[in-house]
Structures are given as structure tokens and as C-alpha cells.
Amino acid sequence: MSAKPVTTDICLVLEGTYPYVSGGVSTWVHQVINMFPDWTFSLFYLGAQKDPKAKYKYQLPPNVKAVEEVYLFDDCVDGGLLGGVGGKWKPFYENVRKLGVRLPVGDRHDLDLVRGLLKHVGEHSRVGFESFWKHPETWNVAIELYDRYAPDESFLDFYWTLRFLIQPVWKLARAMNRLPQAQVYHTACTGYAGLAAAMAAAETGKPMVLTEHGIYLRERIADICRSPWIPDQLVRRPNLDEPLGTLRRLWIGFFDVIGRMAYHQSADIVSLFGKNADAQIHFGADPAKITIIPNGIKTEEFFELKKKRDERRSREPGSQVVGFLGRVVSIKDVKTLLRTARKVCDALPKAQFLVAGPNEEEPEYYRECVELMEQLGVQDQVKFLGPTQRNDFLPQLDVMILSSISEGLPFVIIESLAAGVPVVSTDVGACSELLNGRSGESPAFGPAGLIAEIANSDELAAHLIRVLTDQPLLDQMTQAGLQRVEKLYHEKAIRAAYHELYAKHLA
Amino acid sequence: MAGIGFQLRRLSKSSHFTGQIGAYASAAIISAGPWMISILSLMLLTWLLHKVLPREEDHIRLFSASVTHVYAFALVLTGPLQILLTRYTADQYSLKTPEKIFPSFRGGLIVAAVMASIVGGVFFIGLVPDVPWHFQVSAAALLVYVSCIFVASVYLSVLREYGRIVFAFFVGYGSGVAAAWYLAQHYGITGAMVGLLAGHLVLFILLAAHVRHEIGKGSGSMFAFLGAAKKLPDLLLCGLFYNLGIWIDKFLFWWMSHSSVQVSGRLYAAPDYDLAIYLSLLSIVPGMAVFILQVETSFAERFQAYFDKVNHGASLSDIVVARGQIIESLQQGFRRLLKVQGLTTALLVIGASAIGSIFHVSFVQTGIFRITLFGGFLLMAFLAMQTVLFYFNDRRGALLCSFVFLLANGFLSALTVWQNEAWYGFGFVVASGVGLLLAATRVNTRLRELEYHTFARGGE
């Protein structure tokens, strides 16, 4: 790798998040950079496609010294003449074959092979992807892989799948020389970012740290299994013996292997909560490397909100305001929220539901939600507020609802609890830990909310009705939440943990 | 959640391959078929004119040399245009925009007519003096008609209306020959030329009306097809080189050979060579018919089956089997071609002197005829191989073969022209042989690597 003008203490390798996309991971990234103003940071952002209109969602702190971007799914425009893959590429193809000879498992052997391949691609930037892909030797390797791994699969689909697997990695290899030099490479997920960080760390001998908020591989598996457009033989000829078709297994295998390489290369692996640590171990992480560091907030910033809430509640005794704070997207399952609203309003006609958050990310889903709201006849009780300031919103609520089908460790729960708002949530990610405490919590603070099954509007409604009609219970939960957040999810604790981690590697 | 995951959905739309079935089969036919009918008609007409105008040998030569030049110029001029329009029309069908086809027909006619008017005007009016102006203008007009007829034939070929083409040519030439024969009795060769012109007008109207009837009026720019020329310059060159390659030896014999006869101004004839070569080109009709039949039936079916397999999720081993069936069909086609054409050519070589005596040709001409018969045989096989290359979209290969054929025919025929009659025809034979060898090698390679070209090179 060529020498970079800027060398920072920490390089954050980020895939589809900060600084372009807001959300939990981005909040965390911004927080981490701000926590350590004395250390310098650089960002290596991996996106899908360049959007010229995209703007930073965050004001970059002054200790961010460099930002590099690469877009892995942009059309390949890198030049290079056909036939440019010459004699120097012989060892390259030999190594590709070595990688394919056995099923890659993401161990040191595979990691070194892949690193060599990526380095080679990076060093021969005159050869474009098309030129490589159309080269007869590439074709020969593709045939060998086909014969080995998918001899009965549709060749057309196999061939394009292979291309789509390789093309982003090729783009990444091209961009590796732009990856800022640093003392520590810290990535917020496995996947392509994990691969980039692992390659950079292995190349420079610097330590790699991986913090996983969700479990990248698990999300990809869900995506891949849900995608009816992956055209493999399973769709054409369903088969009871094989739950997944070859091409789906190829995709999953790909993300599995690059995930394992990231786990393998990482010096430290951070999980936000216990359940995720178990998942990481399941997907190949060494338990000895895993530390649990949750998300945290400055709870003192929420005292004022709690005060406002208390004042409002004393002004309006018996108010029944339920809030949702988040993007209106399918993963948040807003439709279940609407069904829940219907059932709650049947019992408590005065109840109100406020849905705060951007609607534009999945416009089709938002439209369906509005339609459903009208069908259910709750348009008088439910309000879609659009993007709303958290500080204005939280004091208006008596209880928060979270109906997601997937979460990591949601900031929205920590913040609600810090503002004294109990939460009714589906049982995803760390929600149960946040509301009921980790097992063996001591002192035990008690429940700060109630947990329901995913997509179970009956149970969600029953819980809401219970807390909205039992004021002493609601107040107990408020207290439990305040105490738990103060003790376990204060930014101080998080800062201390990351300080220790970084200091160890920066020394 | 972090991650950009993967985005197969958008990308997978671009992942289908199509074979340009039927786009090119016609390229060979439209060049070869009609002008075979025209050669036959012309020979018939010449024979008739000898009866009608027994004492006007020179005038008859002027007439037949003029018509021959018209055909040569028309083929060379419209060769690139024909191949371009064929491709453009086939593309519009596969893009499901057939409304763009008729405008391109009009545009093609305009381009052809303008080119033909310029060339015809300059040549027949400027460079062929001492001839009545009626004749000059008629000859120039004939070039315009013939060029437009070739353009119209393209569209009927793409529509696979071969029967219609043959019918129209039959009616057109029938009426042309009759009119020429009748008018020649009153107005001499100018009358014959006007009569033939009238026949071509009939032919053009028949073809154009049928094109209009089949395709409809459509809408869009007339010259949009010229945009395709920018994208496919190799195709244009291929059409030019191939047609020039077929005629270059005649041009050399007319304009450079010491045995040629100056008919008038720049209008020459090479009596020793011309008849031999026309008869030889006529001799390949049986082989061509057999081969085209094979291409249109068994080959086309298997070609389509191959691409169906490719696009509908067949495993590689199934695709390889489908390729094997294409090869099998091609081999069968070539075997039939060789058998039928071999037999035809052998019989003609043996009977050359008997045929010669029918046409009152000299001993020298008979010798040249025997040689050019072999040339015709090789040219036929070369043509067949070129057609296969077009089918597999090996435009680069087809261009290379046409170019080599043009160079070889030009260079070797020039050599024979500078020698003596004993060498005449060998240039054409060797050039066709070289073209055939090259094209056959290219076809073999292409077939061996068919999957690679289909998938990795997107059919290129």
C-alpha cells in the first residue's frame, strides 16, 4: 500500500451508514468520534451507488481528518483494454484456483489468498473489470467453479451470480489504496466493510476492531431467503431435501466467508448485548475476543424532558398518549402498530397514537400504512407527524411503543427510558435486556416496560392497555427505566470501555 | 442497520442473451438470389436481341456491358446499406419497435437512390460518350432502380418472404425482357434499355407495395438507421468488402486486362472472362439452395434451441449438448452442400465444351470456364461459412474474411491479368479458396468456444 499523506489514530470502515445515512449505527459512530476529541479519525465509507444529491447527515467533528468513499455497485467504468490480462496474471489465476479448490472457510489461508488477489488487482489498475471478466482464463475458472459447486444449476444464473459476487470485491480492491492509514482499523459490521478492514489490518499489521450492532450475516441470510428473484433451481424445481438453492447458498456462503475473515482478523470483537454475542460465536467469532459494550447516552440531557413530561402529566391526569419514534419502514412493522392502535382504541377510546419519523424512505410502505389506517378507522386517533424533534416528542408521551421485527440495541428505548417514558416493545435484539435487565442484574431494577411477541398486535394492545390504565405500574416502570439507564447505558460507561479498547491498541 | 448487502435485482435484468436468428441468413440470399435471376434474364435477353438486331453486335455489347455495370455498381454501392438495414430491421423486431422499420425503408431508399444517381450520372452520362442520351439516362436510371430493388429485397428477406421476392423478380424480369424485346424491334438498344427499365419499375413497385403492406406505415425518423452505422462500422465494411471482393476481379478484367474490349468511353467488357464467370456464378444455385434450406430448417431450429437453453436455466452440460446439435446440423448442411454442388460442378466441368458450344464460346473461354467453375464452388462454400459467422455474430471474423477475400481476389486477379489467358480465373479460384479456409477456421473456433462467446462476451 502506498504511503498516505494523512495517518490517523483510528480509521472507521463504514458500510452504508455514517455520515450519509442516519440511524443507530451512525449515531454511535458520531458519538464515538466526539467521545475522543484527542484522537484523530478517518472514515472509509462503502456505499452501494453514488447519489450525487446525497448529503452528510452529520456535521463531521474536527478530529475527522480524512474521508474516502467507494461505491461498490456503481457500474464498472474502470477502463483497461481487452487482452490486458497478460502473463503477470498467471500467479493471480493460480491463487484464484487455490481459493476455489476447497470450499473457502475464511481462515488465515483464505485470508492471505484473498489479500494477495486484492493487492494484485489494486496494483494492476489498468486492467478493467470487464477486461478481466471477459478474459478466457476467467471463463475457464468460472467453468471449473461451476463444475465443482453447482453443476446442475442454471449456468446463466450461476455465471451472473458469480459476476455479481466478484464485481463489488473488485471495486473494493481498486479502492484499497485510498483506505486511510491508521493505527487501528475499526469497522461497524462484517460484510464488505469487514473485508476491507481485515485486508487493511492484515496488510499493515495494525490491529482491527469490529463492533457489530446487528448481525450482518443474519440480516443477509434473511434478505437472501426472502428474495424470490434469485433465480435458482429451487424456484424452478422445488426440492424437499434442499431447503436452499445453490445460488442462495452461494450468496450466503460468500457473506459467511468474508464474515469469518473479519472475525478471524479482528483483535477485538464488540457486541452490544448478550444475544448478539451468541450469534457472533455461532457465525465463527472466537468467544475469547468478544466484549460486550452497549450503546449509551448522556442521561443528564434528558432530565429536562422528564421534568416536562411530569408537568404535562400532572396537568393532564389520565392522558393516554402512545408514541412511536422511528422511520416508517417495513422493518419497524408500523402496520402491526396500527392494528394495535385499533385494539387499544376499542378499549380506551381516548387513547392517542403519535407516529414520529421520516416517511419518505419507503414511500410505498408509507402509503400502505395510511391506507390501512383508514381501513381500520383510526385516522382520528393516529397521527403521522413526519420528522419530529426527539426533545419535543418524548415529553408528550405516556408510553412508547416499538413494533420492530428486527433491532440491535435501539437508542430509542434508552432515550425513552432516560426521559421517563416506559416502553412496550416486541421481543427483538436487546429490547428485553433493556426493559427487564440482563439476567443476574444486581441490583435488580425491575421492569421498565413490557415485551410482546413479534407482530402480535393482541399482546401489544393488551400490554398498552395495562400500562395506560394502571398509573402506579406506569410510574414504577418510569423509575426502573431511569435507574437502569443511568447505571448501565450512560455514555460514561461506554466511553470508558472504548477508551480502554483503543488505548490498548494505540499504545 | 449497517450494510449495503447486495443488489442483484437491478443487475440481473441485463443478463439475457439472444441469438440474432434470421437476421443474417438473408444477407447471402439477397446478394446472390436476385442477381442470379438477373443474369439468367440478361442472357436470355442478349440471345433475343441477337435475333432481333442481327447486325448490331456492338450495340448489343453496349447494352449487356451497361447492364452488367449497373449490377456491379448497385451491389457494391448497396452492399453496406443492405447489411446495415438487415441488422437494423432485425434489431427493431427484437426491441419490439417495429414502427421504426418502415421509416428506415424510406430512408434506405433515399440513400440508395442518391448514391446511385451520383454514380450512375457520373459514369453513364459523363464517362460513356458517343451514346444516345436516352440510353445514358436510362442506364443511370436503371442503376437507381436496381439499387432500390436491393433495398426493398432486404425487408422482404427479413420478413422471410423469399417466395414473394422470387415471384416479384420473375414478374419484373419477365415483363422487362418482354418489353425490351418488343421495344428493341422499333427503337434498337435504347428501346431495349427502356423496356428493361420498365420491367425493373414493375419489380420495384411489387416489392415496395408488399413491404408497405406487411410492415405498415410506422413512425419515426427515416435516417435513424444511420445511427446504427456508427455503432457497427464493422458491419458496413463487411458489406462493402464482400461485394467489392466479388466484383474486383471483373473490374480488373474490364479496366486493366489487354484482352478487354472498349465498348464506349470507360465502359469495357472482357468477353473471355465475363461469360465464364457469370455461368460459374450461376452454377452455384443448387448448392446454395440446399444450404439455405438446411439453415432455414434444422439449423435455425437448433440455433434457437441453444439460446432457449441458455436463457431458460439449462445446466452447462445441457448447453454443450445443444451446441453439439448445432454443429451436427451444420456438418450435415455442409455435407449436403458439398455433395450437391460437387456433383453439379463436376458435371459442368465435364460438359464444359458442350455448354460452350451452345453459347458459341471459344476454346479459351471454355478453359477459363472450367477454372471459374471451381472458383464458384469455393465461393459458394465461403459464402455459406460467412453466413454461419453472421449467425454467431462474429462480425470481426466476417469482416476479416471479407477483407482477406477482397485483397486476395484483387491482388491475385491483377497478377493473372498481367499474365495471359492461361492464368485467367485462377485469381478468383485461389481467393475464394483462401476466403473459405479462413472462414472455415473461424467457424470452427467459434463453435468450439460458443459458450464463452455467448456468456462472457455477450454474444460478441
Give A-chain residues touching B321 at CB under 8 angstroms.
none
Q: What's the first-to-final CA gap in chain A, in angstroms?
A: 23
pLDDT of amino acid A2: 46
Domain assignment present for residue B381? The answer is yes
Grid coordinates representing B374 are 471451381
pLDDT of amino acid B347: 93
Q: Residue range B4-23: average pLDDT?
A: 44
Q: Residue range A450-456: average pLDDT?
A: 95
Residues B201 and B276 in one domain: no
pLDDT range class, residue B161, cuts 50, 70, 90: confident
CA distances for B436 relative to A55, A426, B23, B231, B398, angstroms: 62, 75, 22, 27, 11
- Residue B400 and residue B386 in contact, taking contact as beta carbons nearer than 8 Å: no
Of B58-62, B138-142, B315-319, the one with minimum mean pLDDT is: B58-62
pLDDT per residue as tens digits for the range A106-127? 999 999 999 999 999 998 888 8
pLDDT range class, residue B51, cuts 50, 70, 90: confident
State the angle between helix axes of B25-52 and B233-255 in degrees (0 to 180), rounded to the nearest 10. Answer: 30
- Residue B310 and residue B453 in contact, taking contact as beta carbons nearer than 8 Å: no
pLDDT range class, residue A297, cuts 50, 70, 90: very high
Domain assignment present for residue B12? The answer is no
- Please confirm whether the linkage preceding A52 is cis (ω < 30° from 0): no
Residue A165 has pLDDT above 70, yes or no: yes
Largest CA distance in chain A: 81
More confident residue, A479 or A128: A479
Residue B303 has pLDDT above 90, yes or no: no
Beta strand A399-402 with A208-212 is unpaired
Average pLDDT, chain A: 90
Q: What's the first-to-final CA gap in chain B, in angstroms?
A: 42
Domain assignment present for residue B104? The answer is yes
More confident residue, A233 or B240: B240
Number of domains in chain B: 2
pLDDT range class, residue B460, cuts 50, 70, 90: low
Residues B200 and B154 in one domain: yes
In terms of CA atoms, which chain B residue is nearest residue A47?
A: B4
Q: Residue range A404-428: average pLDDT?
A: 94
Burial readout B95-118 (b: 16 or more C-beta within 10 A, e: otherwise): eeeeebbbbbbbbbbebbbebbee
Burial readout B258-289 (b: 16 or more C-beta within 10 A, e: otherwise): eebeebbebbbbbbbbbbbbbbbbebbbebbe
pLDDT of amino acid A78: 58
Tell me, yes or no, if B18 comes closer than 8 A to chain A by beta carbon. Answer: no
| A402 Cβ contact list (under 8 Å, min separation 6) | A324, A326, A332, A410, A412, A413, A423, A424, A425, A426, A431
What is the residue whose three cell numbers read 430491421?
A: B89
pLDDT of amino acid B18: 47
Average pLDDT, chain B: 84
**For testing the chain B interface, which of A74, A141, A154 should be mutated: the one with the most B CBs within 10 Å?**
A154
Judged by CB atoms within 8 Å, which residues 230-259 of A form the interface with B? 230-231, 233, 236, 251
Judged by CB atoms within 8 Å, which residues 424-453 of A form the interface with B? none
Q: In what order do the strands lie in the sheet with A449-452?
A: A382-386, A352-356, A321-325, A399-402, A423-426, A449-452
- Look at A164 and B8 and tell me if their CB atoms are within 8 Å: yes
Residues B124 and B31 in one domain: yes
In terms of CA atoms, which chain B residue is nearest residue A48?
A: B4
Tell me, yes or no, if B5 comes closer than 8 A to chain A by beta carbon. Answer: yes
If phi over 0 gives left and psi between -120 and 50 gives alpha, with beta otherwise, what is residue B96? Answer: left
- Residue A501 and residue A268 in contact, taking contact as beta carbons nearer than 8 Å: yes
- Distance of alpha carbon A247 from alpha carbon A153, whole angstroms: 8
Q: Residue range B400-413: average pLDDT?
A: 95
pLDDT of amino acid B132: 87
- How close, in Å, is residue A123 to chain B by CA atoms? 24
Judged by CB atoms within 8 Å, which residues 256-315 of B form the interface with A? 310-315
Domain assignment present for residue B5? The answer is no
- Distance of alpha carbon A60 from alpha carbon A69, whole angstroms: 15
pLDDT per residue as tens digits for the range B426-446? 899 999 999 999 999 999 999
Domain assignment present for residue B254? The answer is no
pLDDT per residue as tens digits for the range A184-236? 999 999 999 999 999 999 999 999 999 999 899 988 888 887 776 666 555 55
pLDDT of amino acid B19: 45
Give B-chain residues touching A408 at CB under 8 angstroms.
1
Grid coordinates representing B348 are 459442368
Residue A251 has pLDDT above 80, yes or no: yes
Tell me, yes or no, if A213 comes closer than 8 A to chain B by beta carbon. Answer: yes
Give B-chain residues touching A136 at CB under 8 angstroms.
449, 452, 456
Residues B286 and B357 in one domain: yes
Tell me, yes or no, if B230 comes closer than 8 A to chain A by beta carbon. Answer: no
pLDDT of amino acid A66: 93
Residues B305 and B367 in one domain: yes
pLDDT range class, residue B30, cuts 50, 70, 90: very low
Tell me, yes or no, if A47 comes closer than 8 A to chain B by beta carbon. Answer: yes
Considering only CA atoms, which of B62, B88, B14 is closest in space to residue B189?
B62
Residues B318 and B217 in one domain: no
Angle at B151 between CA B125 and CA B407, to 5 degrees: 75
Is the predicted ipTM greater than 0.85, yes or no? no
* H or E element in which residue B40 lies: helix B25-52
More confident residue, A3 or A462: A462
Residue B24 has pLDDT above 50, yes or no: no
What percent of chain B clears pLDDT 70, i.e. is strictly above it?
91
What percent of chain B clears pLDDT 90, i.e. is strictly above it?
35
Grid coordinates representing A160 are 451472473
Considering only CA atoms, which of B81, B112, B91, B459 is closest in space to residue B242?
B81
pLDDT of amino acid A83: 56
pTM confidence score? 0.79
Give A-chain residues touching B314 at CB under 8 angstroms.
154-156
Residues B149 and B207 in one domain: yes
Q: Residue range A277-300: average pLDDT?
A: 94
Which architecture does CATH list for A299-489?
3-Layer(aba) Sandwich (3.40)
- How close, in Å, is residue A143 to chain B by CA atoms? 9
What three-state secondary structure class fits A25?
helix
Residues B209 and B291 in one domain: no
pLDDT of amino acid A161: 86
- How close, in Å, is residue A163 to chain B by CA atoms? 10
Domain assignment present for residue B102? The answer is yes
Judged by CB atoms within 8 Å, which residues 305-364 of B form the interface with A? 310-317, 319
Extents of the domains making up chain A: 299-489
Torsion of CA A74, A78, A79, A80, to 10 degrees: -120
pLDDT of amino acid A237: 60
pLDDT range class, residue A81, cuts 50, 70, 90: low
Q: Rounded to an integer, what is the distance from CA A269 to the centroid of its chain?
A: 15
- Taken as a whole, chain A contains a residue count of 507
- Distance of alpha carbon A279 from alpha carbon A287, whole angstroms: 11
Enclosing domain of residue B436: 265-460
Give B-chain residues touching A151 at CB under 8 angstroms.
315-317
Most confident of A406-420, B280-294, B385-399: A406-420
pLDDT of amino acid B16: 47
- Distance of alpha carbon B441 from alpha carbon A161, whole angstroms: 33
pLDDT of amino acid B14: 41
Angle at B33 between CA B29 and CA B34, to 5 degrees: 120
